[in-house]
A and B are shown apart, each in its own frame.
Chain A
């Protein structure tokens, strides 16, 4: 591009001169900065949303409550602290406050004789198989002194059983008002004043105390219509059963389908290849189908058409097809596309040099897949499974359609049990008119989030384990 004019070489250039370059550079950097701010803002918004969710839930799960009691819980046992009371203290309190119902407690929990003989037979018969305190074997239940009756209770019933009885039947707590956590922390005085004004305070046997709605007994207790006594064991077990069976079904089928599509469908026959691509496109579309549609599909196929299998009738069990198995099969259909797509990506990312090396040593296709491709793809496959599992835990709509009941008072004990699940239970509690159930629902949400974290952590741990195996 050099032309010579009057002996002076003039270099013709297409690039901007120094000043234009500087201006242009400033412009380029500004545009970069604007985008960077946008990206930071995105992450900040996401974090704020997460924090708002978390605070909202925590705000509702803990806080002050104003309750009335039939008997002041501080007066039930010596020292006042019910939660710390020993078995002997609780038994003595039950016998002292409820002399006759305490005998019913023995009859319902310990007696091994017919009801009409309960008061006439000696304790050696009535309590056979249980611990009998010495010296009272020949007495009947009505001849016992209160101390002896208390000893029978303390020797045979667990502290938890007695505590539940004391809380529900003796203390008789009734929550009048609940307050959110932040109010409780910063406005305790105002709340207490309001309680005295509205409900009369101590004079009317109304007490204000700090209550954590999330407590161990909440997790292990079955549900109840009393917000103080209700628990989520049924929903928690239902969710665990569903997720476990869903993964057991969807993982092998999903990975198998991905292996076929990636490793076997490639053939010399262009039609087979085209067929596989059509299937693949459809799987990707299925991943976007609304979950309620899967619920309707599950209702038609698993609950109705296959009810002989899903109800367990083929094993001689009673009941209908609205079981954990139906729910798991439906959830498996729902998460299959997610697992297949992610497993496909993971298998495709395995370098072809690994496959060639394996084939070059005389490995068959199956040996190559089993010993090289699957181990190398395992971290990615597990990522897809984590996503699928999280979805299965949170999905509600298909379970509603399939017929998860909310009023179930027995824990599920197998694939053929009727069930409820955490998100359904939470929804049902938030829909109740009593405000206490909102606190209960918030506590259940915390349980759901913790469960989600635990399951994901397990899967992530497994993924890291396989990744370390690969890196050596």
Chain B
């Protein structure tokens, strides 16, 4: 599972189901290396579902099922012989709500390396320091690494979660609405951090905030919802990938009218 070529991910005809319900239909997308790709779209369009399929996080939901192919650096992620544990170690994830472990700042960051068998105190010390520096947190917490991660502010917690993710040296960082629980100042700090991290990592971010997508991302994928009336007055809804383009072009010159209406804030 090594990365080669310009593309980190390549999704072909991906359908994702929860039980028998179709959640996302026929997604085809290529996500480039060392760029920030943003997923935007109205609630329920399946953008988080697609994101979570990229590191097999959906495996944790018993009813979730995926059809089609998800390639990472030329390797299919959903082959029988691919271990999701290895996938997740290479493709890290930052979640919507900051979720530090109920442990010290130090142990939060050392957790991942320890899982992989790093035992040396001096190596762990180095990892903790460099990850905290890379996530702009070092100056704020260096005096008290024994403090609980839960004692930090929301923005600091989210940066701690990013530091924790990069501690296992992943190739990709997936971010599922990482700023939706944060205030504008903390959001700005995370956005700056992302522009810095993309020099080393491929980043895919789901966001509800179109300005954020415009500010930070290189490519933007717009997901939308399709409906179908079924018997009994109910309707089936599923998500599709409606448009995918470099961020500048998608926002200035969208190909479809639906995208244009969404980015102008007319629905969603």
Q: Could you list which residues of chain A lie within 8 angstroms of chain B, going by C-beta atoms?
A: 266-268, 273, 351, 353-364, 367, 371-372, 375-376, 469-472
Kindly supply a per-residue 1/0 record for chain B positions 96-124, scoring 1 wherever the CB is within 8 Å of any chain A CB and 0 otherwise. Answer: 01011111100000011001100000000
- 9 more CB-based (< 8 A) A-B contacts, given A351-B99, A360-B88: A273-B62, A360-B92, A361-B165, A362-B112, A363-B115, A371-B111, A470-B102, A471-B102, A472-B151
* CA of A105 to CA of B106, assembled, Å: 68
User: Nearest 6 A-B pairs (CB), nearest first?
Assistant: A472-B148, A362-B89, A353-B99, A360-B93, A361-B112, A470-B102
Residues of B within 8 A of A364 (CB): 85, 115
Residues of chain B lying within 8 A (CB to CB) of residue A470 = 102
- Contact (Cβ within 8 A) A472 B104: yes
Question: Min CB distance, B124 to chain A, in Å?
Answer: 14
Nearest residue (CB) in A for B114 is A371
C-alpha gap A351/B149 in the complex (Å) = 16
Residue contact A376 to B102, C-beta cutoff 8 Å: yes
Q: Are B95 and A362 in contact (CB-based, < 8 A)? A: no
Residue contact A357 to B115, C-beta cutoff 8 Å: no
Nearest-CB distance from A261 to chain B (Å)? 14
Contact of A266 among B62, B99, B104, B164 (CB under 8 A): B62
Interchain CB contact under 8 A, B168 and A362: yes
Give chain B's interface residue range (CB within 8 Å of chain A): 20 to 34
In the assembled complex, the CB of B142 is this many whole angstroms from the nearest CB of chain A, namely 17
CB–CB A356/B99 < 8 A = yes
Closest residue on chain B to residue A472 by CB atoms: B148
Q: How far is the CA of A355 from the CA of B95 in the complex (A)?
A: 12
**CA of A267 to CA of B115, assembled, Å:** 24
Known contacts A472-B149, A472-B150: A359-B57 contact under CB 8 Å: yes
Q: B93: which A residues are within 8 A, CB to CB?
A: 356, 360
| A359 in contact with B88 given A273-B62, A367-B115, A472-B149 (CB within 8 Å) | yes
Asked if B215 lies at the interface with its beta carbon under 8 angstroms from chain A, I say no
A357 touches B62 (CB 8 A): no
A359: chain B residues within 8 A (beta carbon): 57, 60, 88
Shortest C-beta distance, B128 to chain A (Å), equals 14
A residues in contact with B90, CB < 8 Å: 362
Query: Is B86 at the interface (CB under 8 A from chain A)?
Result: yes
A304 to B167, CA, bound (A): 59
Is B55 at the interface (CB under 8 A from chain A)? Answer: yes
Return B232 CB to nearest CB of chain A, in Å.
25
- Within the complex, the shortest CB–CB distance from A144 to chain B, in Å, comes to 71
The proximity string for B residues 43-77 relative to A, scoring 1 for CB distances below 8 Å and 0 otherwise, is: 00000000000010100101000000000000000
Asked if B161 CB lies within 8 Å of chain A CBs, one says yes
Other-chain contact of A268, B62, B97, B165 (Cβ < 8 Å): B62
Interface presence of B147 (CB below 8 A): yes
B242 to chain A, nearest CB (A): 28
Could you tell me if A361 and B88 are in contact, using CB atoms closer than 8 angstroms? Answer: yes
Please name the residue on chain B nearest to A363 by beta carbon. Answer: B115
What residues of chain A lie closer than 8 Å to B95, measured between beta carbons? 353, 356-357, 360
Tell me if B165 and A360 are in contact (CB < 8 A). yes
**Chain B positions within 8 Å of A351 at CB level:** 99
CB distance from B113 to the nearest CB of A (A): 9
Residue of B nearest to A355 (CB): B60
**Residue pair B86, A356 in contact (C-beta under 8 Å):** no
Neighbouring B residues of A268 by C-beta, 8 Å: 62
B87 CB, nearest partner CB in chain A, Å: 8
Tell me the smallest distance from the CB of A354 to a CB of chain B, in Å.
6
Q: Bound state CA distance, A364 and B85, in angstroms?
A: 6
Contact B92 A357 (CB under 8 A): no
Please name all residues of chain A whose beta carbon is closer than 8 Å to the beta carbon of B97 when the two chains form the complex: 353
With known contacts A360-B165, A362-B115, A472–B103 Cβ distance under 8 A? yes
Cα distance A147–B90 in the bound complex, in angstroms? 90
Contacts of B103 in A (CB 8 A): 472
Whether A361 lies near B161 (C-beta < 8 A) is: no
Separation of A359 and B85 alpha carbons in the complex (Å): 7
> In the docked arrangement, what's the CA distance between A361 and B86, Å?
9
Establish whether residues B101 and A372, one from each chain, have CB atoms under 8 Å apart when the complex forms.
yes
Contact at A360–B57, with CB atoms within 8 Å? yes
Q: Which listed residue, A266, A353, A360, touches B55 by the CB 8 Å rule?
A: A360
In the complex, the answer to whether A354 meets B99 with C-beta atoms within 8 Å is: yes
* A to B CB contacts below 8 Å, 13 in the list: A355-B60, A356-B57, A357-B101, A360-B95, A361-B92, A361-B164, A361-B165, A363-B85, A371-B111, A372-B101, A470-B102, A472-B147, A472-B150
* Chain B residue with Cβ nearest A364: B85
Are the C-beta atoms of B60 and A362 separated by less than 8 Å?
no
CA distance A372 to B101 in the complex (A): 8
Tell me the smallest distance from the CB of A368 to a CB of chain B, in Å. 9
Q: Which residue of B lies closest to A470 (CB)?
A: B102
CB-defined contacts of B99 to chain A, threshold 8 Å: 351, 353-354, 356-357
Most B CB atoms within 10 A — which of A355, A363, A371, A375? Answer: A363
Residues of A within 8 A of B150 (CB): 471-472
Report the minimum CB–CB distance from B90 to chain A (whole Å). 8
